[in-house]
Amino acid sequence: MEIPHPYHLFLGDVADRLGAKTGIGIVDWRREWCLGQLRLPGCKADAGISDMTVAEARAAGAKTFVIGCVNSGGSLPEHWVDTIIEAIESGMNVASGLHIRLSAVPGLADAARKAGVELFDVRHSSERFGTGTGAKRPGKRLLTVGTDCSVGKKYTVLALEKGMRDRGFDADFRATGQTGVFISGRGVSIDAVVADFISGAAEYLSPAADENHWDLVEGQGSLFHPAFAGVSMGLLHGSQPDAFVVCHEPTRTTMRAVQTPLPSVQQVIDLTILAGSVTNPDIRCVGISINTSALDDDEAKEFLARISADYDLPATDPVRYGVEVLVDRIETEFGK
Amino acid sequence: MEIPHPYHLFLGDVADRLGAKTGIGIVDWRREWCLGQLRLPGCKADAGISDMTVAEARAAGAKTFVIGCVNSGGSLPEHWVDTIIEAIESGMNVASGLHIRLSAVPGLADAARKAGVELFDVRHSSERFGTGTGAKRPGKRLLTVGTDCSVGKKYTVLALEKGMRDRGFDADFRATGQTGVFISGRGVSIDAVVADFISGAAEYLSPAADENHWDLVEGQGSLFHPAFAGVSMGLLHGSQPDAFVVCHEPTRTTMRAVQTPLPSVQQVIDLTILAGSVTNPDIRCVGISINTSALDDDEAKEFLARISADYDLPATDPVRYGVEVLVDRIETEFGK
C-alpha cells in the first residue's frame, strides 16, 4: 500500500482535539505532505494548517483526501459522506483509518470508479496472519505502553526513531495504528486484526533482524483499558520487547471514553513486566514519557524531576524536552 | 443461527484428540444429536460414536455435516474438500467452526447452491459489536480461566450449568467458541471478533440480567498464552466476572502449540484478579477444576486434596467427580 501525497486532511465535526488525532499526528510528522485541512461546521479540532475547500486543495495539487478523524467505534457519520464524494469527484483518492471500509459506504465505490481514483482502507490489511508462536526472534525491540489510550505512545516512538538514528542507532518505527501507517507508509492496524491473530500480527510486524537493530513498536491502548486491553496484551506478547517506555498524561483521572479510573505508572510497569515476561523474561522499563501539555514549564519540569526520582527512571516529555534521556538510558542498558 | 440436527461429525485426519475437540465436545454434551463420525485415513482422534460414510449418515437421517476438528490457525486443508463436497451433494448442510469461511473455499458455495443446502460459519457472527464500556451490569457472572488452552474451561461451565440448575440456581451457559455454539445453538466465537471489539462482544454476550441470575461464561485461552492472551484479556474485562474457576491439566509442562512453559495456578489466580479488577473490583476465585484424565483414581484424589489444601479452595475434576464442591462454594459466597 502506497498512499499518494500531498494530502488534504478532513477533520469532520469532531468534538475535541483527540477526535482528530490522526490528522494532527500526520501534520506533526509529515507537515510537508499536508496542504490543508477541511473542517465541517462545529468542528472543535484544528491541525494548525490552512483551511481549504476541496476545490482549493485540488487546485493546489492535493492527491489524497485523508479522513484524519475518528469517532468512537470507528463508524462513518452519514453527514460526512457528501464531502467525501465531493473530494472523489474532484479527482482525489480517499484514505481512511476507520473500521468501516470506504467501499462499504453507499455511493463511495461507485463515485471512485467513475472518477478513476482509489479508496485506501488503512485499517484493513490484505496480509493473512498466523497465530503467535512466542518464539524468541533476534534483534532488539522497544514498545511504548500507557496508562490510557491517546497519551503519546506513537509520538514517543517516532521521536525515539529520530533521536536514536541521530545518535547512530539502527532503528525503525513500526506502525500499529492508522496514523502511524499514514506517516510511515507501512505497518499493521493491529486493532483491526481478528482477535486470534493479534500477537501473530505483532510478530509479523517486527520480524527477526540483526542483533543490534531496534524495532520501535507503537503501543496501543492500555493493559488497564476495559475496551482495548486485549489488543495491548497481544501486541505486548507478539512484540516481545526488550525495553518499554510508559506513557502517561498526569491530569487525566479516568480513561478515554469510559469511566474507569486511570492506573498508576507503577501498576502499568508491574503488569507489563508480569505479562511481557511470557515472551521475553528480560523485559525492562527504560523510561517514562509524560504528556505535559496541561502544565506550564515550571510545573512540567518539577513533575518530570519528581516522577524520575520516584521510579529511578529517566522521564521526559518528548514534544517539549526531546528524548535524549531515554536514548541515554537505552545506550547504557543495551550498548549500541 | 439455528443449525439443523442430527449431525454427522467430520474429524478429518487430525494428529491427536485435541485436534478433534469440537466433535468430541459435541458428543459429550449432545450425544443424542450425533448419528456418527467420519474419519479420514490417519486420523488419530475418536469421538466414540459409530464410523459412518456420508451415504450411511444421510440414509440414517443426518441433516448437517459438522466439521468437528481444527488445525492450528483455523485453515481448511485441501484434502478435506472432496469429502465436504460429497456431504453437500448428498443433501447435508455443512457447519464449520474454522476461521476461513466455507464460502471462501473454492467449490463449496457452488455445490451448496446446486444442492439447496446451507453453509454455517459458526465463527463468523453477523452481529456488529461496539467497543467495551467497562460499565457494571446487573446480574452475576462466572468465567472459567486456564493455565492453558484446552484444559476444560468449556466443560467446567457446562457442568456448572447443569449442577447449578439442579440445585435451583438460575444459570445459563454462554458460549464463546465454536463447540459451545454448536452445543448451545447461540453465542459468539470471541476469537473471530475484530480485536478492537473483544470486550465489547463479551459485554454483548452476557447482558444485564436479574440480580440473582448467573451467566456462566466459557473462558478462552490463557492470560499467559503467547498466541491467545489478548482474547483471554478482552473476554475477562467484558465478562466482568464476580467469580472465576481456574482450569488446569497437571501433567502438561508447555502450553498448547508453543514452547512457553505453563504458568502455575497461583500465577493465573493473581493475574486474573489483577486484570479482572478493572471491571469488577469484587472478582474472586471460587475453585479449581483439574483435568485428571492422565492420573489414576488414587492419584487424582490425592492431587485434588493437595491442591485444594494449598489454595484453600474447592478442587474437582468435573468429568470424574462432578461440580458439587464448586456449587457449594458459590452458594456459600453468593447465596442463591
Structure ipTM over 0.95, yes or no: no
Beta bridge mates, A120: A95
Residue B145 to chain A, least CA–CA distance (Å): 15
Question: Model confidence over A188-212: pLDDT tens digits?
Answer: 999 989 999 999 999 999 999 999 9
Best mutation target among A233, A258, A269, A279 (most B Cβ atoms within 10 Å) is A233
All residues of chain B having their beta carbon less than 8 Å from the beta carbon of residue A192 are: 194-196
Residue A104 Cα distances to A101, B8, B192, B262, angstroms = 5, 37, 20, 43
pLDDT tier for residue A336 given thresholds of 50, 70 and 90 = confident
Question: Model confidence over B1-52: pLDDT tens digits?
Answer: 678 999 999 999 999 998 998 999 899 888 999 999 999 999 999 999 999 9
Q: What pTM, to 2 d.p., does this model score?
A: 0.86
Containing A9, the helix (H) or strand (E) segment is strand A7-12
What is the per-residue pLDDT for A100?
Answer: 85
Instruction: Name, in order, each residue with C-beta under 8 angstroms of B167's C-beta and a sequence gap of 6 or more.
Output: B327, B331, B336
Beta bridge mates, A170: A213
Residue that is last in its domain, among A86, A121, A156 = A121
All residues of chain A having their beta carbon less than 8 Å from the beta carbon of residue B238 are: 226
pLDDT tier for residue B126 given thresholds of 50, 70 and 90 = low
State whether B279 and A195 contact (CB < 8 Å). Answer: no
The CATH number assigned to the domain holding B279 equals 3.40.50.300
What is the per-residue pLDDT for B74?
Answer: 66
Q: Residue A65 in contact with residue A112, Cβ under 8 Å?
A: no
Chain A residues with CB-CB distance to B under 8 A? Answer: 72-74, 99, 130-135, 190-196, 198-200, 223-235, 237-238, 257-260, 271, 274-275, 278-279
For residue A71, pLDDT over 80 is answered with: no
All residues of chain A having their beta carbon less than 8 Å from the beta carbon of residue B230 are: 195, 198-199, 230-235, 237
What is the per-residue pLDDT for A72?
Answer: 64
What is the per-residue pLDDT for B18?
Answer: 87
Q: What angle do CA A269, A270, A275 make, to 5 degrees?
A: 100
Q: Are residues A152 and A294 in the same domain?
A: yes
Least confident piece of the model among A10-14, A15-19, A202-206, B132-136? A15-19
Chain B residues with CB-CB distance to A under 8 A? Answer: 72-74, 99, 130-135, 190-196, 198-200, 223-235, 237-238, 257-260, 271, 274-275, 278-279
pLDDT tier for residue B187 given thresholds of 50, 70 and 90 = confident
User: What is the average pLDDT across B299-303?
Assistant: 98
User: What is the average pLDDT across B166-175?
Assistant: 96
pLDDT tier for residue A126 given thresholds of 50, 70 and 90 = low
Distance, in Å, from the CA atom of A132 to the CA atom of B232, rounded to the nearest integer, reads 14
For residue A22, pLDDT over 80 is answered with: yes
Instruction: Kindly state the percentage of chain A with pLDDT values over 70.
Output: 98
Question: Model confidence over B203-229: pLDDT tens digits?
Answer: 999 999 999 999 999 999 999 999 999
> Which grid cell sits at A143?
514498545
All residues of chain B having their beta carbon less than 8 Å from the beta carbon of residue A97 are: none
> Which grid cell sits at B81?
474438500
Distance, in Å, from the CA atom of A322 to the CA atom of B23, rounded to the nearest integer, reads 57
For residue B124, pLDDT over 90 is answered with: no
Question: Has residue B126 been placed in a domain?
Answer: no
| Radius of gyration, alpha carbons of chain A | 20
What is the per-residue pLDDT for A75?
Answer: 80
At A286, is the secondary structure helix, strand, or coil? strand
Maximum distance among all Cα pairs of chain A, rounded to whole angstroms = 61
Q: Are residues A176 and A308 in the same domain?
A: yes
Q: Are residues B198 and B244 in the same domain?
A: yes
Residue B299 Cα distances to B151, B153, B262, B303, B310, angstroms = 18, 22, 21, 6, 16
User: What is the average pLDDT across A231-254?
Assistant: 97
Q: What angle do CA A194, A195, A200 make, to 5 degrees?
A: 85
The CATH number assigned to the domain holding B97 equals 3.40.50.720
Q: What angle do CA A83, A19, B206 make, to 5 degrees?
A: 110
Nearest CA in chain A to B226: A134
> Which grid cell sits at A168?
547512530
Q: What angle do CA B29, B100, A76 make, to 5 degrees?
A: 110
**Mean pLDDT, chain A, whole residue set:** 94
State whether B196 and A228 contact (CB < 8 Å). Answer: yes
Nearest C-alpha neighbor of B191 from the set B138, B149, B152, B161 = B149
Distance, in Å, from the CA atom of A248 to the CA atom of A147, rounded to the nearest integer, reads 6
For residue B72, pLDDT over 80 is answered with: no
Q: Residue A249 in contact with residue A151, Cβ under 8 Å?
A: yes
Question: Has residue B260 been placed in a domain?
Answer: yes
Domain count of the fold of chain B: 2
Residue B94's domain comprises: 7-121
Phi, psi of A234 (to 5 degrees): -65, -35
Question: Has residue A48 been placed in a domain?
Answer: yes
For residue A1, pLDDT over 70 is answered with: no
Nearest C-alpha neighbor of B66 from the set B42, B47, B92, B94 = B94
Residue that is last in its domain, among B75, B90, B121 = B121
What is the per-residue pLDDT for B294?
Answer: 96
Q: Residue B303 in contact with residue B289, Cβ under 8 Å?
A: no
What is the per-residue pLDDT for A282?
Answer: 98
pLDDT tier for residue A61 given thresholds of 50, 70 and 90 = very high
Pairing mode of beta strands B7-12, A243-248: unpaired
Question: Model confidence over A165-190: pLDDT tens digits?
Answer: 999 999 999 999 988 988 987 789 99
Q: Are residues B252 and B217 in the same domain?
A: yes
Instruction: Name, in order, each residue with C-beta under 8 angstroms of A85's C-beta and a sequence gap of 6 or more.
Output: A107, A108, A111
All residues of chain B having their beta carbon less than 8 Å from the beta carbon of residue A224 are: 278
User: What is the average pLDDT across B163-167?
Assistant: 97
Distance, in Å, from the CA atom of A326 to the CA atom of A303, rounded to the nearest integer, reads 16
Question: Has residue A135 been placed in a domain?
Answer: no
Nearest CA in chain B to A202: B227
| Radius of gyration, alpha carbons of chain B | 20
Distance, in Å, from the CA atom of B118 to the CA atom of B88, rounded to the nearest integer, reads 9
Q: Are residues A35 and A105 in the same domain?
A: yes
pLDDT tier for residue A323 given thresholds of 50, 70 and 90 = very high
User: What is the average pLDDT across A131-153?
Assistant: 97
Question: Has residue A2 been placed in a domain?
Answer: no
Distance, in Å, from the CA atom of B140 to the CA atom of B133, rounded to the nearest integer, reads 18
User: What is the average pLDDT across A32-57?
Assistant: 96
Which residue type does B285 have?
C
Q: Are residues B114 and B155 in the same domain?
A: no
User: What is the average pLDDT across B176-203?
Assistant: 90
Distinct helix (H) and strand (E) counts, chain B: 12, 11
